[in-house]
Structure 1
Amino acid sequence: MECTRLSSLPDNLSSYLKCRAIDPRVVHGVSFRLGCLCSTFLSNNLLQVYVSRFMIVDARKLFDITPQRNVVTWSTMISGYAQIGNLKDAIFLLREMLASRIPEKEDENGLLPNKFTFGSTVVGCARANDLRTGVQIHCNIIKFGVESDTFVAGALIDMYSKCGKVKESWNIFDQTPIKDVVSWTTMITSLANSGWHHLWDYAFKLFKDMICRGIQPVGMTFASLVKTFDAPMKLSQAKQAHGCMVKLGIEVDDLMGSALIAMYGRCGGMDEVMRLSDRINHDVVSRTSLLVAYMQNGFNVEAVDVFHKMIEEKFIMDVFVFASVIGACSILEELGMGKEIHCHALRKGFTSDVSVSNALITLYGRCGEIRKAQRVFQLMRDRDMISWTALLTCYSQNGYGEEALLLFRQMLQEGLSPPIFSITSAIRACSTTASLFMGQQIHSRIVKMGSADNLSVENSLITMYAKCGSIEVAKRVFNSMTNRDIVSWNALIVAFLASCKVHGNVELAKIAAKNILQVRPEDPTPYIILSGIHASMGVWDAKARFRAMMKDQGLQKEPGRSWVEAQDCSEDIFDILQVGGI
C-alpha cells in the first residue's frame, strides 16, 4: 500500500503544475525533498512549465540535475532557448544531444532527435534571422528524414522567408507532400511579406488554390493576405477575400478591423472604410489606419478630424501619426492647424524625428513660411534626402531661386546624390534667377542620369529655357517629348506670351494671355508680360491697368533676384559638378 502511494507521487505532483496560480518552484522544491526528481515524467512536466513561463534559468538548473533525460527532456530545453532567441545555447544542446546518442542503441536510449527538436531549433533560427545555422539544421533534418513533417516544413518555410529566401521557401512548400493550413498560411505570409509586388499576385492565387483544395483558411491567413491588396485595381480581390472571411465566420477583431481599413484605404474603397469604422472598437492602431486611409484618398479634412478624436480620446500616438496629419495640413494649406500640431509634436519630443521634421518643412513651404521651414531644417540633428529636397522645393515654389541654388550647391558639396525631384526643383530655381548657365549644367547631368525623358523634368526645362530667353531650345525640348500634358503646352505658350514682348505684338499677346488665364487663372505671368509689353511701347496707362488687374486677383510677381549673384552661384555649382563627376 505504501509503495503504491509513493509511486503515485510524481503523478500527483504533476497535477499541481496545471494550476497557474502555483509557483512551479514550489513543486520543484517539494519534489526534490521527497526524492521524486528521479522520475523523468515529473521532471519533463516541470521543465515544460518552466519553459512555457520563460523561466529559462530555473529550467536549465532542473535540466542539469535530471538523471534520466529522454528526447522530450532535450527537446523541451532546446525549445526553451529557441523561444527566447538564445540560439547559441539551443544549438549547443542539440549538438550535445547528437553527440551523446549511441547509434546502435537509439531505440533504447531514445535520444534520436525528432520533428519537435528540429522544428523548435529552426524556429529559433527564424527569430534570430540566422540563415547559416538554419541551413545547417536543414541538412540534419534531411539526414534524419523528418523534412516531410508539416511542423518542420512550416518552420523551414518561415525561416527561409524571414531570411529573405522566398525561392527556398517555395521549394520546401512545393516538395512537402501533405500540406496543412499552417503550411499554406506560412507560404502565403512569406509571399505577402517579401516586399516584391510581383509576388503578391501569387499570394492571392495560392489563397484561391488553398480554398479549392478544401483547406479552410484561418485568421492569420487573412491577416497576411490583406497586405497584398495595395491599389484600386485590386479592390475586387480585396472584397472577395473579405467576403470569404465573413462566409467562414472568421472573427473581425480590432486588429483585423484595422488591417481591413488599411487594405480598403490602399484600394480606394472608402465606402467600406467608413462601414468598418462604424463597426469596430477603435484603438490607436485602427484610428491610425483610418487617418492614413483618409489621406490616401484625398479626405484630408476627415484625416485631421480623426487626429482630433485621437487627442480627445487620449491615445498614445507615435511619430507616424504626427507626420501623417502634418502632411494632411500641408495639402490643405492649413497653416494655423499645422502650427498647433507642431506644438503638440514639440511637447512630445517628436520634432527630433526625421519624418515629422520633413513634413513640417513641406507644410511651411506650401504655406509660404520660408523662415520657419529654414528653422526646422537647421534644428534637425539628422537629415535624409527628403529633408534636403523638401527645403529645396520650398525655396523653388516660393520664388527663392538663389537660395534654392545655394542649397543645391551645399548638397553637392556634402557628397549627396540629388534625386530627380531635387534636380527638377533646381531647374525651376534657374528659371526664377534666369541662370541659363546653371540650367544647362543640370540639363547635362539629367541626360547622363538617363532621366531626360521624365515628364516633370521636361516641363521644367521648357520653362527654364523660355525664362532664360532660349526660346528655340525650349521648343526643341518640347518637340522631343514622347508624352505631353497641359503643363507642357502651357510652358511653351508662355515661352512664345515672351516672344510677343520682343516683337511688340500686343494683339497676339492678348490672345495668348486670355487662353492661358482660362486654363490657369492663378498664373500672374500673362499680366506681367502684357504690362511689360505696354511699358516697352510707352503705354503707361495700360501698364498700370494690367498691374491693377493682377493685384485685384490677389496675384504676386515672383521676387526679383540678382543676375550677377545667380551667375556666381552657378559657377560654384558648375565647379562642384565637374569635380564630383556629376
Structure 2
Amino acid sequence: MSERDEFSWNTMVAGYAHSGRLFEAKQLFGVVPRKSSITWSSLISGYCRCGSEAEAFQLFCQMQYEGQKPSQFTLGSLLTMCASNALLSRGEQIHGYAIKTLFDKNGFVNTGLVDMYAKCNRILQAQCLFEAASDRQSHILWTAMVTGYAQNNDGLNAIKCFQDMKAEGVEPNQFTFPSVLTACAAVPASNFGAQVHGCIIRSGFEANVFVESALVDMYAKCGDLKSARIALETMEVDDVVSWNSMIVGCVRQGFEEEALLLFKKMHARGMDLDDFTYPSVLNSYASTGDMGNAKSVHCLIVKTGFEPYMLVSNALVDMYAKGADLLSAFKVFNSMIGRDVISWTSLVTGLAHNNSHEEAIKLFCEMRLAGISPDQIVTASILSACAELTVLQFGQQVHANFIKSGLKSTLSVDNSLVAMYAKCGCIEDANRVFNSMTIRDVITWTALIVGYAQNGKGKDSLAVYHKMIARGTKPDFITFIGLLFACSHAGLVDQGLHYFESMDKVYGIKPGPDHYACMIDLLGRSGKMEEAKKLLNQMDVEPDATVWKALLGACRVHRNLELAERAARALFELEPQNAMPYVMLSNIYSAAGFWENASGIRRLMKERGISKEPGCSWIETNSNVHTFMSEDRNHPMTDQIYSKIDEIMIKIKAAGYVPDLNFALHDVDEEVRELGLAYHSEKLAVAFGLVLLPQGAPIRIYKNLRVCGDCHTAMKFISRVFHCRIILRDSNCFHHFKEGTCSCGDYW
C-alpha cells in the first residue's frame, strides 16, 4: 500500500471518529489494510471525545497488544477524557504508563497530566508536575495551571501563577484570560481584574466573546456594576452568558429593579433566554414581592419550554414560597419530574418562613423518606421551625443526624441550634453550642441574650451583652428587644433605662413599638405606673397592640383599673377579634371583686362573637404529645392522673402550700374554687409526668397561655416535695422549677 493510501485511510477513520459517527469509524477501521499508530489514535480520540471510557481504554490496550506504540496524541486524548469526566484512577493509569515509557518528559503529555489532575481536584499533584516541567515557555501549560487553581477555588494562587507567567515572558491567550478573571471574581480582586483588563486590551483579545463575558462576570461579582455595564455595552455580540452575569450581579448587590430592566431588554432584543436567566429574574421578583409580573414570567417559562429544567423549577418554588403563595409553590413542586435537595429546601424553608412550622417539619420528614439528605440550609430552617414549635426531641434528632452526615457546620446552622435549644428551655445546651462556635455574628449573640432572658436569667443576658460589646460586635434592633425583655423580666429598672437611652444616643437605633412595650412592661411591673404612663404619652411612634398589651399586663399585676380600662379600649379597636384584652380585663375585675363588671365584659365578648382561646398544656414523651385542658378527663390515664393530683395536693399542703383563690376567677363556693385550681391544665400535665416519666427525668411542660400565680406557687412546692425538675414554658417565658425555687425569681 502506498503512503498516500495509508494517509487516505487514516483521514477517513479520523473524519468519522471526530464527527461522532463511531459505528462507521469502527467498521472502516476494521477493513483498514495496515493500521498505524495514527489510525489507532484517530479511533481512540473519537471514543474519548464521546466520553466512551470503556471502549477507549479497551482500544488503548488492544493497540499495545497488537504491537503498536501509542503516541503523545493518543495519551493526550485519553487524558483529556479523564479530565473532562473526572476519571482520576484512569488518569493515574495513563500517568503510570507515561512514566514507564518516558512520555512524562513530553511537554504535550505533561500538560495533559497537569490539566487532568487539576480537574480531578488534585491540585497539589498538578502543581508538582507543573513545577517539574522542562519546557516552561508553553502558554498552554501555564493556562492549564492558572485554570486549575481557578477551578479549585484557589483564586490567590491562580493570580500569582498568572503574574509568574507574565514575569517569565509567556503571553496569555483567549483561554488564559477567562480563567484569571474567574479567579479575580472569586477572591474578589477587582483592582487586579482591572489590570488584567488592561492586558487584554494590549494583547488584542478585547473582542473575543469569551474574554468579554468573563470581564462582565468579574466586574459584576466584584460589585463594580458600573464597569460591568460598560463591558456589557461595548460587546459586539449579545451574549446571553454576559447578560446573565450582569443580572446576577445586580441581584446580589440588591438592585433587583436593575436586574428586571436588563431582563426586559433581553426579551425585547429577542435574545435566547436560557435556564440560567430565569432563576435570577425570579429571585428578583421574590425580593421585590411583585408576584403579578412574576406570574407573567412563569407563563413565559411555560411557553418557551423551560419549566421542566431543574434550575428553573427550583427557582419557581423558591419564588412562590418567598412570596407566601404556598399553593402555587406546591403546584410547581408536585409537577416536577425530579427533585433535588434544593427543591425540597426551597419549599421547607418557605413553609418555615411563613410560620407554617408544623407543615415544614412534615415535609422535611417526607424529604428524608424520599432519600434526600438535608444540606446546611434546610437544616437551619427546620431547626428554626423546631424552635418555634418547641419540639425539643425532634430538634435533637435533626442535630444528631446533621453531626452524623459529616457536613461542615455553617453560621446559620449554629445560630439556629443556639436559638432552638434556648427556645426549648435547654439554655445549657444553647451555651455549649455557642462556646463551640469559631465565628459569631450579632444574630448569634442576640439568640443567647434572648435565650437567657426567656429562661429567667436576665443578669446572664446582660453579661452576654457586655461580652458582645467587648468583642467588637455592634447590637442591632433585635438585640435591644432581647436586652430590654431581660431587664423587664428581672426587674432591672435602672439598667433597662440605661440601655433604652443608649439605643439612639450611642448606636443610632430608633426605638420601635417592641422596645417601648418592654420599657412599659419593665416600669409597670416594677410599680412605676406613672412613669410607664408618661413614657406611653411621649412615644415617638404610634403605640401598637404590643405596647397596650404590656400596659394591660402591668395593670393586672398592680390592679390599676383606670389604666387597664384605657389599654383594653385601645386593644378593642386595634384587634377587635382578639379575646386577650377582654379576658384580661375580666380577670382584673374579678380579682378586684367587681363580679358584675367581669360578667359585663364576658357578655360583651358573647355579643361580639369573640371566643376565648382555651387554656391548654402539653407534654411530650417518646415522640407523642399529650395535651390537657382544665379539669380534663379525656386522657386514657385519667384515673391515675387524678389520683396523682390528690397525692400532690396532700403532700404540698403539708409542706406549706396554700391555694391562692384570687386565681379562681369565678363567683362560686370556696371549696369549688379550690378544686378548680387543683385541676388546672399545667397541674394535670405535671401529674402525668410524675406518673409516666422515670424518676429524676426533667418534666417539660408547655402552656399556650400565661401560667397563673397559684400554679406557679404549686410548681415550686412540687419540685421540692417530689425532688424533680420542672421546666414550664408559658406564653411569656420559661420557668425552671428546682428544689422549691423558680428561675424567674417569682417575677414574671
TM-score over 0.5 for the alignment?
Answer: yes
The equivalent residue for 1:404 is 357
Q: Give the aligned residue type for 2:50.
A: I
Provide closer, same or farther for how the CA distance between residues 73 and 329 of structure 1 changes in structure 2, counting only shifts above 3 A: closer
Task: State how 1:306-385 maps to structure 2 within 5 Å.
Answer: 306-347=262-303, 356=312, 359-360=315-316, 363-364=319-320, 366-369=322-325
Q: Deviation per CA, 1:355-391, whole angstroms, max 9, x where unpaired?
A: 5555455545555556555666666676666566655
The equivalent residue for 1:94 is 60
Distance 1:470 1:376 in 2: 46
Q: Give the aligned residue type for 1:408.
A: I
Distance 1:322 1:446 in 2: 43
- How far did 1:286 drift? 2.3
Q: Give the aligned residue type for 2:361.
A: F
Q: Does 1:423 align with 2:447?
A: no
8 Å Cα contact 1:329/1:335 also seen in 2? yes
Q: 1:543 is paired with a residue of what secondary structure?
A: helix
More deviation in 471-480 or 145-154?
471-480
Q: Deviation per CA, 1:151-173, whole angstroms, max 9, x where unpaired?
A: 11111111222222222111111
Q: Does 1:444 align with 2:444?
A: no
- How far did 1:185 drift? 0.3
The equivalent residue for 2:170 is 215
Q: Give the aligned residue type for 1:291.
A: I
TM-score by length of 1: 0.74
Q: 1:204 is paired with a residue of what secondary structure?
A: helix
Q: 1:147 is paired with a residue of what secondary structure?
A: helix
More relative contact order, 1 or 2 (CA 8 Å, 6+ apart): 1
Task: State how 1:74-85 maps to structure 2 within 5 Å.
Answer: 74-85=40-51
8 Å Cα contact 1:126/1:163 also seen in 2? yes
Higher helix share: 1
- How far did 1:484 drift? 4.8
8 Å Cα contact 1:345/1:351 also seen in 2? yes
The equivalent residue for 2:689 is none
- How far did 1:293 drift? 1.3
Q: Deviation per CA, 1:473-498, whole angstroms, max 9, x where unpaired?
A: 65566466554521322321244314
Distance 1:409 1:476 in 2: 38
Gaps of 5+ in 2: 392-419, 489-517, 576-580, 582-610, 627-692, 694-748
The equivalent residue for 1:272 is 227
8 Å Cα contact 1:37/1:43 also seen in 2? no
Q: Give 1:294's match in structure 2, choosing from 247, 250, 255.
A: 250
The equivalent residue for 1:60 is 26
8 Å Cα contact 2:548/2:568 also seen in 1? no
More deviation in 173-182 or 63-72?
63-72
User: Percent of counterpart pairs with the same letter?
Assistant: 26
Q: Give 1:491's match in structure 2, choosing from 482, 494, 497.
A: 482
Q: 1:164 is paired with a residue of what secondary structure?
A: coil
The equivalent residue for 2:93 is 136
Q: 1:247 is paired with a residue of what secondary structure?
A: helix
The equivalent residue for 2:550 is 529
- How far did 1:137 drift? 1.9
Distance 1:561 1:250 in 2: 74
Distance 2:381 2:429 in 1: 16
Gaps of 5+ in 1: 1-34, 102-110, 552-556
More deviation in 375-384 or 147-156?
375-384
Q: CA RMSD in A?
A: 4.4
Distance 2:96 2:625 in 1: 58
Q: Give 1:543's match in structure 2, choosing from 550, 567, 587.
A: 567
Q: Give 1:188's match in structure 2, choosing from 132, 146, 155.
A: 146
More deviation in 264-273 or 352-361?
352-361
Q: Give 1:505's match in structure 2, choosing from 504, 528, 550.
A: 528
Distance 1:509 1:397 in 2: 34
Distance 1:386 1:510 in 2: 51
Provide closer, same or farther for how the CA distance between residues 158 and 562 of structure 1 changes in structure 2, counting only shifts above 3 A: farther
Distance 1:149 1:549 in 2: 86
8 Å Cα contact 1:406/1:569 also seen in 2? no
- How far did 1:127 drift? 3.5
Distance 2:262 2:164 in 1: 39
The equivalent residue for 1:39 is 5
- How far did 1:129 drift? 3.1
Q: Give 1:459's match in structure 2, choosing from 421, 428, 446.
A: 446
Q: 1:238 is paired with a residue of what secondary structure?
A: helix
- The size of the alignment, in residue pairs, is 516
Q: Deviation per CA, 1:74-97, whole angstroms, max 9, x where unpaired?
A: 333333333333343333333333
8 Å Cα contact 1:516/1:526 also seen in 2? no
Q: 2:33 is paired with a residue of what secondary structure?
A: coil
Provide closer, same or farther for how the CA distance between residues 272 and 205 of structure 1 changes in structure 2, counting only shifts above 3 A: same
Q: Give 2:259's match in structure 1, choosing from 289, 303, 306.
A: 303
- How far did 1:174 drift? 1.1
